[in-house]
Chains A and B, each alone.
Chain A
Amino acid sequence: MEKLYCTIYIVDISQNPEEEEAVTSRIQQLIEDHGGIIQRINRWGKKRLAYPIQKKTHGYYVEIEFTAKSVLNIPAILEQEYRVNDRVLRYLTYVVDKKELIQRAKKAGKKAEKEAPAAEKKETPAAPEAPAAEAPAAEPEAPQVTEPAEGENPPVAETEAPVTEEAQEAAQENEEKKEEK
Chain B
Amino acid sequence: MLRWKKKRICRFCEAGDVYIDFRDEKRLVRFLTEQGKIVPRRTSGNCAQHQRQLAKAIKRARHLALIPFVSDIPR
Q: What is A's interface to B at a CB cutoff of 8 Å?
A: 8, 10, 49-51, 53, 59, 61, 89-90, 92, 94, 97, 99-100, 102-103, 106, 163, 166, 170-171, 173-174, 176-177, 180
Closest 8 pairs (CB-CB, A-B): A103-B19, A49-B65, A99-B19, A170-B71, A50-B68, A100-B19, A50-B65, A99-B18
Looking across the interface, which residue of chain B has its beta carbon closest to that of A94? B60
Q: Are A92 and B60 in contact (CB under 8 A)?
A: yes
Bound-state Cα–Cα, A79 to B20, Å: 25
Number of chain B residues whose Cβ lies closer than 8 Å to a Cβ of chain A: 22
Partner of A51, one of B19, B60, B68: B68
Q: Given A49-B65, A50-B68, output 19 extra A-B contacts at Cβ < 8 Å.
A: A8-B64, A10-B64, A50-B65, A51-B65, A51-B68, A61-B64, A92-B60, A94-B60, A97-B19, A99-B18, A100-B21, A102-B18, A106-B18, A173-B71, A174-B70, A174-B71, A176-B73, A177-B70, A177-B73
Question: B72 in the interface, Cβ–Cβ < 8 Å?
Answer: yes
Q: Is the interface of B mostly helix, strand, loop or mixed?
A: loop
Residues on A with beta carbons closer than 8 Å to the beta carbon of B69 = 51
Contact bitstring B48-75, A, C-beta under 8 A = 1, else 0: 0000000000001011111111111110
Distance A180 CA – B70 CA, assembled complex (angstroms): 13
> In this complex, what residue of B is CB-closest to A56?
B65
**Complex: chain A residue closest to B67, CB-CB:** A50
Q: Does B7 contact A (CB under 8 A)?
A: no
- B64 cross-chain contacts in A, Cβ below 8 A: 8, 10, 61, 90, 92
Which of B17, B29, B68 has the most A CB atoms < 10 Å from its CB? B68
A157: shortest Cβ distance to chain B, in Å? Answer: 15
